[in-house]
């Protein structure tokens, strides 16, 4: 492993999973511990490079009050995921954003039309499809 | 020259309004989305060509009998060898408008491409930190999120389909197969390029009826094509159930919703899944393709052909 991209991910995982801010040294130790089997020495400077890249991407914040500096994740993993999904779901007004993710997705309006269209023959349509309850599709006579 | 420019202008007007209105209302389009997409591309291409061509030819009319001699004479005027006496302000205006419109179209396309590319690469980087490869499929990644979401992220080298954990939990294996086949079709058929072209066409000329109608139609037709691809792997009841699940499993977060055009067109997409109508006949499809080719050839011939005998 040990490409910068892989290291970025490992560092972010460590920061997301820890409740406290971490120093580059402690991150290095944790990374070395996790990847002990490949026997490679990981230099602190490499970790600092990765942290600098993540800081530039606004994923990591540095606390400069302490020596050595401490690093923490700007947002939690869940918050980032929500941001990612918001971006993916897009905004009707923001055509460019939609384009960027190019969703082959399905809108709520379509679902409502579909429900109307399905009403009658299929019993499934009569079942309320409330938001928030992922409904599992059971064996259905179609 | 003058007659040619009037013919081109007539074609440009027809392609800017009545033809796209007719096509967007036509009922047969959902019976052959692929052929209809070809026709929309012909409309856009021929429309742009005839719009620019009409102004160019009209502006060059005092200088020569056809496009080449006119351009040659224009070069003579620009380089000072010929006098500009024949060229009135209206001709200069037409020529400038033709050049500006051409540049405007090209630069809008480039700008849209750059923006989209930047946006996607940012999304891809964040995705690399937040997703895991799907157990079943190497080209699919899973994001830990409760809302049922599926979308595809096109790229020159690394296209991926993204699904949320919520969607994987809500769908049975067949339903998941349907969704993945749908998204994979978008990627394999490079629908993103079509969307990009028609999006930038719309951004360049938002006031033009064609550009808006074409954009909406293209969005609709690529969804139909992807549905058709999914239907080769699962039956329509499975696909429909998967679509319902993805759409209603959870409301989108505030301020966000899917970016697809809604209304009649979407209902059309659903209707064809529920009650499939037969594909257009071979001869009808051939006629449509022939008309599309003719649409592009006509302004091209008008532009480069020697002067019409009038």
Measure the CA–CA gap between A16 and B36, rounded to whole angstroms. 49
Residue A98: the pLDDT is 36
Q: Which among A37-41, A100-104, B161-165, B239-243 has the top mean pLDDT?
A: B161-165
pLDDT tens digit sequence for B72-125: 889 988 888 888 777 889 999 999 999 999 999 999 999 999 998 888 888 888
Q: Which of B77, B175, B182, B249 is nearest to B162 (CA)?
A: B182
The pLDDT, as a whole number, for residue A2 is 61
**DSSP string over A55-90:** HHTTSEEEE-SSSS-EEEESS-HHHHHHHHHHHHH-
B3-12 average pLDDT score: 94
Look at residue A109 in the predicted model and tell me its pLDDT.
58
Residues of chain A with pLDDT below 70 are 1-2, 36-40, 89-142
The per-residue pLDDT of chain B, averaged, comes to 87
Query: What pLDDT score does A134 carry?
Result: 38
Would you say residue B256 has pLDDT above 70?
A: no
**Domain boundaries defined on chain A:** 4-74, 78-126
The pLDDT value recorded for residue B211 is 94
What is the pLDDT, as a whole number, of residue B45? 96
Q: Which residues of A touch B154 (CB under 8 A)?
A: 102
Three-class secondary structure of residue B143 per DSSP: strand
Of A81, A90, A136, Cβ closest to residue B130? A81
Lowest mean pLDDT among B13-27, B45-59, B261-275: B261-275
What's the rounded mean pLDDT across residues B193-203? 93
Stronger pLDDT, B179 or B241, i.e. the higher one = B179
Are A90 and B116 in contact (CB < 8 Å)? no
Instruction: Measure in Å the smallest separation between the Cα of A56 and chain B Cα atoms.
Output: 13
Q: Would you say the C-alpha torsion B261, B266, B267, B268 has a positive or negative sign? A: positive
Q: What is the pLDDT of residue A40?
A: 63
Q: Given A85, A94, A110, which is nearest B247 (Cβ)?
A: A110
How far apart CA B231 and CA B223 sit, in angstroms, is: 12
pLDDT of B20-57, one tens digit each?
A: 999 999 989 999 999 999 999 999 999 999 999 999 99
| Residue B310 reports pLDDT greater than 50 | no
pLDDT digits (tens, 9 = 90+) for A39-56: 567 888 999 999 999 999
> pLDDT at residue B146 above 70?
yes
* Contact (Cβ atoms closer than 8 angstroms) between residue B116 and residue A99: yes
| Four-way CATH pick for A4-74: 2.40.50.100, 3.40.50.11540, 1.10.10.10, 3.40.50.720 | 1.10.10.10
User: Which pLDDT score, from 0 to 100, does residue A23 have?
Assistant: 93
Between positions 75 and 94 of A, the ones with CB within 8 A of B are 77-78, 80-92, 94
B221-236: per-residue pLDDT in tens? 998 999 999 999 998 8
What's the token pair of residue B182? 């749908």
Tokens of B243: 């679509």
Determine the length of chain A: 142
Q: How many residues are present in chain B? A: 310
Residues of B in contact with A92 (CB under 8 A): 257-259
Beta-sheet strand order (sheet of B140-143): B131-133, B140-143, B160-164, B150-153
């Amino acid at each position: 492993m040990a490409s910068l991209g892989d290291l970025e991910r490992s560092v972010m995982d460590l920061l997301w999973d820890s409740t406290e801010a971490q120093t580059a040294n402690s991150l290095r130790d944790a990374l070395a511990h996790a990847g002990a089997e490949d026997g490679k020495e990981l230099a602190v400077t490499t970790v600092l490079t990765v942290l600098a890249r993540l800081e530039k991407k606004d994923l990591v914040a540095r606390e400069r009050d302490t020596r050595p500096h401490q690093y923490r994740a700007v947002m939690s993993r869940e918050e980032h995921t929500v941001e990612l999904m918001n971006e993916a779901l897009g905004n009707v007004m923001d055509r460019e954003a939609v384009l960027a993710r190019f969703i082959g997705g399905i809108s709520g309006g379509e679902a409502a039309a579909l429900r109307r269209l399905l009403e009658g023959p299929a019993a499934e349509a009569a079942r309320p499809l409330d938001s928030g309850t992922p409904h599992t599709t059971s064996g259905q006579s179609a | 020259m003058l007659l040619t420019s009037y013919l081109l202008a007539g074609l440009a007007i027809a392609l800017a309004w009545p033809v796209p209105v007719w096509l967007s209302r036509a009922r047969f389009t959902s019976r052959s989305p692929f052929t209809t997409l070809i026709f929309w591309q012909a409309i856009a291409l021929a429309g742009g060509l005839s719009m620019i061509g009409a102004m160019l030819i009209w502006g060059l009319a005092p200088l020569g009998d056809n496009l080449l001699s006119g351009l040659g004479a224009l070069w003579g005027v620009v380089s000072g060898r010929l006098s500009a006496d024949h060229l009135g302000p209206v001709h200069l205006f037409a020529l400038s408008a033709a050049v500006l419109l051409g540049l405007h179209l090209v630069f809008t396309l480039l700008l849209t491409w750059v923006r989209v590319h930047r946006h996607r690469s940012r999304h891809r980087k964040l995705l690399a930190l937040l997703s895991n490869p799907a157990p079943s499929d190497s080209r699919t990644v899973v994001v830990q999120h409760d809302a049922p979401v599926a979308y595809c992220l096109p790229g020159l080298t690394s296209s991926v389909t993204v699904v949320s954990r919520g969607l994987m939990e809500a769908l049975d294996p067949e339903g998941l197969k349907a969704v993945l086949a749908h998204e994979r079709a978008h990627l394999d058929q490079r629908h993103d390029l079509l969307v990009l072209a028609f999006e930038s066409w719309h951004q360049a000329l938002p006031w033009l009826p064609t550009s808006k109608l074409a954009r909406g139609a293209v969005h609709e037709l690529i969804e139909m094509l992807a549905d058709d691809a999914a239907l080769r792997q699962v039956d329509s009841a499975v696909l429909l159930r998967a679509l319902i699940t993805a759409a209603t499993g959870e409301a989108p977060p505030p301020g966000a919703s899917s970016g697809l055009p809604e209304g009649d067109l979407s209902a059309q997409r659903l209707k064809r899944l529920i009650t499939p109508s037969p594909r257009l006949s071979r001869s009808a499809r051939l006629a449509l393709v022939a008309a599309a080719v003719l649409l592009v050839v006509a302004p091209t011939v008008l532009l480069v052909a020697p002067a019409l005998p009038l």
